[in-house]
Structure 1
Amino acid sequence: MTEIEQVTARLRAFAAARDWESFHTPKNLAMALAGEAGELLAEFQWLTPEESASLGEEELGRVRSEMADVATYLIRLADILGVDLIDAIHTKMTEVEIRYPPKA
């Protein structure tokens, strides 16, 4: 079992143990994902580009936590929709590589 499959299974079990499956609709998960992405963005909102590239330990801890929230909702959404997230990323990267070839 891959690590993403392990995380997916853990998230699925977490939701089931709390009887949250009825709340984990694609719409609700997408909205929660957007909210968490906003919280991640808020950590960078007033930083200069230089400050955002050199976060202190406390700031990095908050960013790490928000990144985990974003990833959690994305993985849960992929699970509910039956999307192989790794395959989707590889497919998208292939499309982007064709659209934006390397500089000569």
Structure 2
Amino acid sequence: MLTTTISVETPSNEIKQLQQALAEFAHQRNWDQFHTPKNLAMALSGEVGEVGELLEIFQWLTPEQSQQLSPEKKQHASEEIADVMMYLLRLADKCDINVMQACQEKIQQNAEKYPISKCYGSAKKYNELN
């Protein structure tokens, strides 16, 4: 049986610093009262529109074109990704979830669900693998 160990080397202090900056931004505006986990999750669901805008950037592009965005489209994609990411980081902070640890655990779970020997080069879902 092949196993995979995946290491994530992104410094978690950078994520924590970003979460602290977002918390300070909210505090300065007296928005913390509104930033409950429930409200942040609801706000994140509202970001479906932002994800839609992200999809519009890539709509009708060939796979090759989607990998070579113009500077303007890349900037637009960057802004939409940041909107979604900031809500996720703020929600994780409010729920006391260590984002790096959660991602590392999820990568390991996915490695178990998608063993290389069964999924290499396949786009099948884990329950369709032989």
**TM-score after normalising by structure 2:** 0.71
**Which of 29, 45, 64 is equivalent to 2:40?**
29
**1:65 positional shift:** 1.0
For residues 73 and 43 of structure 1, the distance between their equivalents in structure 2, rounded to whole angstroms, comes to: 21
Partner of 2:85: 71
CA 1:26–1:39 in structure 2 vs 1: closer, same or farther (change >3 Å)? Answer: farther
**1:45 positional shift:** 3.2
Partner of 2:25: 14
Please show how residues 52-91 of structure 1 align to structure 2 within 5 Å.
52-91=66-105
The higher radius of gyration belongs to: 2
For residues 17 and 102 of structure 2, the distance between their equivalents in structure 1, rounded to whole angstroms, comes to: 18
The letter for the 1-side match of 2:62 is T
**TM-score after normalising by structure 1:** 0.86
Give the gaps of 5 or more residues in structure 1: none
For residues 12 and 3 of structure 1, the distance between their equivalents in structure 2, rounded to whole angstroms, comes to: 14
Higher relative contact order (CA 8 A, sep 6+): 2
CA 1:61–1:13 in structure 2 vs 1: closer, same or farther (change >3 Å)? Answer: same
**1:46 positional shift:** 3.7
The letter for the 1-side match of 2:80 is E
**1:69 positional shift:** 1.1
**Structure with greater helix percent:** 1
**1:71 positional shift:** 1.1
For residues 52 and 30 of structure 2, the distance between their equivalents in structure 1, rounded to whole angstroms, comes to: 26
For residues 96 and 47 of structure 1, the distance between their equivalents in structure 2, rounded to whole angstroms, comes to: 29
For residues 54 and 66 of structure 1, the distance between their equivalents in structure 2, rounded to whole angstroms, comes to: 17
The alignment of Structure 1 onto Structure 2 pairs a total of residues equal to: 104
* Structure 1, 45-54 or 70-79: larger mean CA deviation: 45-54
* Structure 1, 89-98 or 38-47: larger mean CA deviation: 38-47
- Aligned identity (percent) is 46
RMSD, matched Cα: 1.9
